[in-house]
Amino acid sequence: MKSNNYVLILAGGIGSRFWPISKSKKPKQFLDILHTGKTLLQQTYDRFANICDKENIYVITGDQYKHFVREQLPDLKEEQLLPEPARKNTAPCVAYFAHKLAALNPKANMIVAPSDHVITNNAAFAQVVSQGLSYSAEKEMLITLGITPTRPDTGYGYIQFDEDDREDSLYKVKTFSEKPTKEIAETFIQSGDFLWNAGIFIMNVKTIVNALHKFLPEIDDVFREGDGLYNTDKEHAFINTAYMQCSNISLDYGVMEKAKNVGVIPSNIGWTDLGTWASLYDLYKKDYLGNAVAGTNVMVMDASNCMVMVPDNKLVVLHGLSNYIVIDSEDVLLICEKEKEQEIKQIVSDIKRIKGDKYL
pLDDT tens digit string along 245-264?
999 999 999 999 999 999 99
**How many helices (H) and strands (E) are present in the chain, helices listed first?**
11, 17
Question: Looking at residue 194, what is its pLDDT?
Answer: 92
User: Which residues, other chains included, contact 237 with Cβ-Cβ below 8 Å and sequence gap of 6+?
Assistant: none
If we measure between CA atoms, which residue out of 251, 256, 250 comes closest to residue 173? 256
Query: In sequence order, what DSSP letters do the residues of 178-241 get, joined into one string?
Result: -SPPHHHHHHHHHHS-EEEEEEEEEEEHHHHHHHHHHH-HHHHHHHHTTTTTTTSTTHHHHHHH
The model's pTM: 0.93
C-alpha span between 57 and 316 (Å, rounded): 42
Instruction: Work out the angle at residue 347's Cα, subtended by the Cα atoms of residues 345 and 353, and round it to the nearest 5 degrees.
Output: 110
Q: pLDDT confidence of 342, banded at 50, 70, 90? A: confident
Greatest CA span in the chain, whole angstroms? Answer: 66
For residues 87 and 222, the answer to whether their CB atoms sit within 8 Å is no
Q: What phi and psi, each to the nearest 5 degrees, are found at residue 186?
A: -65, -40
Length of the chain: 360
pLDDT (average), residues 353-357: 91
pLDDT digits (tens, 9 = 90+) for 88-124: 999 999 999 999 999 999 999 999 999 999 999 999 9
pLDDT (average), residues 208-223: 97
What Rg, from alpha-carbon coordinates, does the chain have? 21
pLDDT (average), residues 165-172: 89
Q: pLDDT confidence of 239, banded at 50, 70, 90? A: very high
Evaluate if residue 27 carries a pLDDT over 90: yes
For residues 145 and 80, the answer to whether their CB atoms sit within 8 Å is no
Evaluate if residue 1 carries a pLDDT over 60: no
Q: pLDDT confidence of 327, banded at 50, 70, 90? A: very high
Question: Looking at residue 164, what is its pLDDT?
Answer: 83
Evaluate if residue 36 carries a pLDDT over 80: yes
User: Which residues, other chains included, contact 138 with Cβ-Cβ below 8 Å and sequence gap of 6+?
Assistant: none
CATH topology of domain 2-272: Spore Coat Polysaccharide Biosynthesis Protein SpsA; Chain A (3.90.550)
Calculate the alpha carbon distances from 332 to 19, 44, 298, 328 in Å.
9, 28, 17, 6
Instruction: For residue 7, give the 3-state DSSP assignment.
Output: strand
Q: Is 354 exposed, middle or buried (0-12, 13-18, 19+ CB in 10 A)?
A: exposed
Q: Where are the domains of the chain?
A: 2-272, 277-355
Q: Are strands 292-294 and 262-267 parallel, antiparallel or unpaired?
A: unpaired
pLDDT (average), residues 181-186: 89
pLDDT (average), residues 233-253: 95
Question: Looking at residue 2, what is its pLDDT?
Answer: 60
Question: Looking at residue 204, what is its pLDDT?
Answer: 96
Cis peptide before 311 (omega within 30 of 0): no
Evaluate if residue 157 carries a pLDDT over 60: yes
For residues 346 and 352, the answer to whether their CB atoms sit within 8 Å is no
Instruction: For residue 346, give the 3-state DSSP assignment.
Output: helix
